[in-house]
Structure 1
Amino acid sequence: MTDALQREPAVPALRLAGIVKTFPGVRALDGVDFEVMPGEVHALLGENGAGKSTLMKVLAGMYQPDEGRIVIGGREVRMTTPLEAKQEGVVLIHQELSLVPEMSAAENIYLGELPRQSFGRVDWRRLYARSDAILERLRCKFRSDATVAQLSIANQQMVEIARALTVDARVVVFDEPTASLTDAEKVVLFDIIHDLKAQGVGIVYISHRMDEIFTLSDRITVLRDGQYRGTLETALTNEDEVTRLMIGRSLDLSRESTPVKAGETVLAVRNLTCEPYFEDVSFSVRAGEVVGFYGLVGAGRTAIAEALFGLRNCASGAILIDGKEVAIGSPEQAIALGISLVPENRKEQGLVLQMSCRDNMTLPQVQDLTAGPFVSSGAEIAIFDQYRDRLAIKTPSWRQPVGVLSGGNQQKIVIGKWLSMQPRVLIVDEPTRGIDVGSKSEIHTLLRELAAQGYAVIVISSEMPEILRVSDRIVAMYHGRITREFTAAEVTEDSLVQAISGIAAPAEA
């Protein structure tokens, strides 16, 4: 017999067989099968609510399956806690950060497994030495004794990723790991994934970013409505086939060709400066158009939005509404002038997750919906019903806590909340972050429809396809300055990349 005939089939690093998980009134997983081979990057895709996170929480010991088996390295296991899962070599890097803000990066990296000296005392020297070595491998520019609360969101994500490098892992699950990372940090993460793959670790990669999926993965498995829909070889498929499996239809992601019918200038910014975030910024937005802001993380885009909404005080420059200079020192003043902001982080800045959909929708105007000393429930429900229908928000009732909705529906609640204030200028920061491809298309269509209805819309995005699809004009930023402004007809990917890299000179007036 030849060696090839004698060689036994490879044993999966992980196999989930017939996994069922039911919550009150919801069958979240319905007999799902999934496997990862050693040294494989296996992408897990599906719309928000498809069951991806529930399946991974079953794997990580956070949930126990009602039915089905978990097999790791050929051995069936039962894990009832995340610590037991980690002991079996399973590490889950959460999309939602699971760090303790008051503790150091090192304490978070080794949480639950701090190195000890005699009498149970923490060996701080060994803890910081080990942690610094891991952070150096991740090319982080902060020390492990830094308090997590003082770190940026991107650096907090790197601390979360560092946890995966503390154990001899069999399987590492990355759940939307690049949502808060800069392009340079993404390169480091992808290098780490390739290193883990070369060491024979099985990688589960969950992301809504198709470019990452097709760059990193070997196979793609799709879930829809809690059910297994199929597994594809990445090299033999394409984005359209994956999308059809995910949502049951193809998407038209092309840019609308209808020319913009913009009206008068609603918002104008003249030489606005807010050091150290941005300097000498000038632009305008007309009724009926979408102006996109594109640039690297830290370029100053979000800071401009916050200044327009009264969250930052500017040292110099002017903001004009309908040609008249205005002073905006607080969100209340911005709202009164007709400016609304859908923030970058909807869960921390845009929603109260424990409150109902109705209460979130009407929160900015609750003082105007009172009948005597009480809030008018009927008025609140009427507003919610109006924008639920207008934005096609999927929720069984206005009573539903907004925290249990999918990311796309949460974002529609935030947008509806500000539309109900009848703004003239709508600023939307990272409109589709953490949202599946189907909901992303709906949000894009909504933004174009709002412009067609006469809103002046500003969109800030880190995704080039998104900014190209929705914008009538694009403002490129680099290190706090506007480097170039493009129309939709003249912009190209190359020229846009040059502009946000500081290569292109500002356009001539």
Structure 2
Amino acid sequence: MDNILEIKNVTKEFPGVLALDNVSFNIRRGEVHVLIGENGAGKSTLMKILSGVYQANSGKVLLNGDEIDFSNPKEAQLAGISIIYQEFSLIPYLNAVENIFLGREYKKNGVLDKKRMTEEAKDLLDTFEVEIDLEKSVNQLSVAEQQFIEIAKAVSINDNVLILDEPTATLTNQETEILFNLIRNLKEKGVTMIFISHHLEEAFEIGDRLTCLRDGKWVGTENISDLSEKKIIKMMVGRDIGDTFPDREGKYQKEIMIEVNDLKRNEKEEFINFKVRKGEILGVAGLVGSGRTEMARALIGADKVLSKEIYINGKKVEINSPSDALDNGIGLIPENRKSQGLILGLSVKDNISINSLDKILKSNLFINKKEEKKRSQKLVEDLNIKTPSLKQTVKNLSGGNQQKVVLAKWLGTDSNVLIFDEPTRGIDVGAKLEIYKLMNELVDMGISIIMISSELPEVLAISDRIMIMHKNKINAVLDNNEDVDQETIMYYATGGEQYDRAT
């Protein structure tokens, strides 16, 4: 079989962490090779070695039979290996053409040849069968369109190997299908792709072969056609994990924990009104752009509003800033953990403690280091956060463990209401189950949870009631029972007014 990449006995160590341990496998030319593993399994480290971000401590990588050892990503790109990260590297105020040719612009008589670059960019995107306004700055484009520009940029440099790191994490179902069509198109043109994903159904839809890493070691490489979802999960976690979702008994109380009245951000929007009972999980569903995250940000005072009234345990409270929300026992686990939930340059301990400094101060002047370490260590153990120590810088943790640090930060505040915005985005099936179990434990303690999620199976499995938003308004609130399914939710999410299952 023709291998384009051969990974042989690759080992990578960081201080206190063996990220890759003697990993070996091959990538065939022209295939879509799915790479899976729990958070912290070593997937991202290996891809950064392939793309020149890191260098291995030992072992070697062969590209087209020749050994490679890139010292930076530019060398990798010129050799034909490009990586598309979840966090894009585009310049937001430049347009698509300027981003695609950034650093290698065409010139004619010493002047930028904009016509040639525009024509080539248009021809390239036409082969992708996607339409993008080439004149718009990329910050005016959708996430999917930005991703297509990243791919176009990579393919325009060279098209040997394209690494896609969680490419569907922020896409709608429709955008995901467009991306998959693009992947199929690139495959027909001979492009080899490594596809990293935590969504196992995507492996079956788009992949040819699959490799699993666990705890930095190679577990196995199999044809997708020979695998089942259950077998993949066992490869990832090393055991049968049972059900994807834990049992949910729905023992919420009648008492109202939080009541939101007349929430309105601008004159164009309708009033938003809802209640959450003590010990209840209220799932919030809706398409991207329906206003779910905006509603949550307005609730905690992160965004300005025209009006809102909030009651906690029947008492009216004023929440004009996230600090006010924290003082009143409301916490937000944000959609974007890296830019909004964490301070990446600080340690695990510092991130966990930052919202609860009032609990670890001595005489309101100095931090009680012993108490801070004790509280942080307990939360690390309770949430099974994989870190060499409390001193580890958060940016060096895997995505799933970063998410757990965000959760630990809020659990340390003794909040009564927690808003989870896409709580399991970009994390593996094992870590998802841990977070679901944690949510169940929290509501059993009487904490109320508002869970915003784009994953309908998650909404249906975890929620007691489901609030469905469409165009910045609440379109339906449903008790979660056997009569509610994904079809029902999508009906209301797309603007349906009265659902009749018989039609």
Given the two structures, how large is their TM-score scaled by the length of structure 1? 0.90
| Counterpart check, 1:269 vs 2:226 | no
Q: Does 1:414 align with 2:377?
A: no
In structure 2, what is the Cα distance between the partners aligned to 1:64 and 1:415? 32
Matches of 2:460 and 2:389, distance apart in 1: 35
Pairing 1:86-485 to 2, within 5 Å after superposition: 86-101=77-92, 103-119=94-110, 121-135=111-125, 143-149=133-139, 151=141, 153-251=143-241, 252-275=243-266, 279-366=270-357, 369-371=360-362, 373-485=365-477
Task: Give the Cα separation in 2 of the matches to 1:55 and 1:151.
Answer: 31
CA spacing shift, 1:168–1:404, aligned 2, 3 Å: closer
1:450: Cα distance to partner?
0.5
How big is the shift at 1:448? 1.1
8 Å contact kept, 1:351–1:360:
yes
Please say if residues 246 and 433 of structure 2, whose CA atoms lie closer than 8 Å, have aligned partners that are also in contact: no
CA distance in 2, matches of 1:352, 1:244: 34
Once the 2 structures are TM-superposed, how far is the Cα of residue 346 of structure 1 from its aligned partner? 0.6
Give the aligned partner of residue 7 of structure 1.
none
Of the structure 1 ranges 95-104 and 247-256, higher mean CA displacement relative to structure 2 is found in 95-104
Task: Tell me the percent identity.
Answer: 41
User: Which deviations, in whole Å up to 9, do the C-alpha atoms of 1:44-77 show, x marking residues without a partner?
Assistant: 0011111111111121122233333333334444
In the comparison of the two structures, how many residue pairs are matched?
497
Instruction: Tell me by how many angstroms 1:289 deviates.
Output: 1.1
Give the equivalent residue in structure 2 for 1:5: none
Cα distance in 2 between the residues matched to 1:278 and 1:249: 49
Deviation of residue 150 (structure 1)?
5.4
Tell me the secondary structure at the aligned position of residue 395 of structure 1. coil
Q: Structure 2: how far apart are the matches of 1:200 and 1:102? A: 33
Q: Provide, for residues 18-58 of structure 1, a one-character-per-residue CA deviation record: whole Å limited to 9, x for no partner.
A: 22223333332222222222332110001111111111112
Q: 1:387 to 1:31 in 2, by over 3 A?
A: closer
Classify 1:40/1:126 alpha carbon distance in 2 versus 1 (closer, same or farther; 3 Å): same
CA 259–342 in structure 1, closer or farther in 2 if over 3 Å, else same: closer
Structure 2 CA distance, aligned partners of 1:386 and 1:278? 44
User: Which deviates more, 454-463 or 373-382?
Assistant: 373-382
Q: How has the CA–CA distance of structure 1 residues 376 and 322 changed in structure 2, closer, same or farther, with 3 Å as cutoff?
A: same
Structure 1, 401-410 or 191-200: larger mean CA deviation: 401-410
Question: Which blocks of at least 5 consecutive residues in structure 1 are unaligned?
Answer: 1-9
Residues of 1 paired with 2:428 and 2:4: CA distance? 27
State the 1:463 CA deviation. 1.1
- Contact 1:358/1:381 (8 A) holds in 2: yes
Q: CA deviation at 1:139?
A: 6.8
**Structure 1 stretch 352-361 or stretch 475-484: which is displaced more?**
475-484
State the secondary structure of the residue aligned to 1:13: strand
In structure 2, what is the Cα distance between the partners aligned to 1:79 and 1:280?
56
Amino acid at match of 1:205: F
1:505: which partner in 2?
498
What is the distance in 1 between the residues matched to 2:371 and 2:145?
43
Conservation of the 8 A alpha-carbon contact between 2:353 and 2:372: yes
Q: In structure 1, what is the Cα distance between the partners aligned to 2:245 and 2:389?
A: 34
**Once structures 1 and 2 are overlaid, which stretch shifts more, 317-326 or 169-178?**
317-326
State the Cα distance separating 1:136 from its structure 2 match. Answer: 5.6
Residue identity matched to 2:147: Q
Instruction: Report the TM-score, using the length of structure 2 for normalisation.
Output: 0.91
The answer as to whether partners of 2:2 and 2:28 remain within 8 angstroms in 1 is yes
Q: 2:457 touches 2:486 (CA, 8 Å); kept in 1?
A: no
- The match for 1:495 among 476, 488, 494 is 488
Q: Does 1:64 align with 2:55?
A: yes
> Does 1:51 find its partner at 2:42?
yes
Are the structure 2 counterparts of residues 411 and 250 from structure 1 closer, same or farther at C-alpha, using a change threshold of 3 Å?
Answer: same
1:124-151, CA deviations, whole angstroms, 9 ceiling, x for partnerless residues?
Answer: 3333343344456657675445444555
**CA–CA distance in 2 between the matches of 1:276 and 1:446?**
39
Alpha-carbon distance between aligned partners in 2 of 1:304 and 1:116, rounded to the nearest angstrom: 47
Instruction: State how far apart, in whole Å, the 1-side matches of 2:369 and 2:336 are.
Output: 28
Q: Is the 8 A contact 1:277 1:300 kept in 2?
A: no
- State the Cα distance separating 1:276 from its structure 2 match: 7.7
Give the superposition deviation at 1:257: 4.8
Task: Report the more deviating stretch, 325-334 or 143-152.
Answer: 143-152
SS, match of residue 112 in structure 2:
coil
Distance in 2 separating the partners of 1:421 and 1:29? 36
Instruction: Choose 347-356 or 68-77, whichever is displaced more.
Output: 68-77
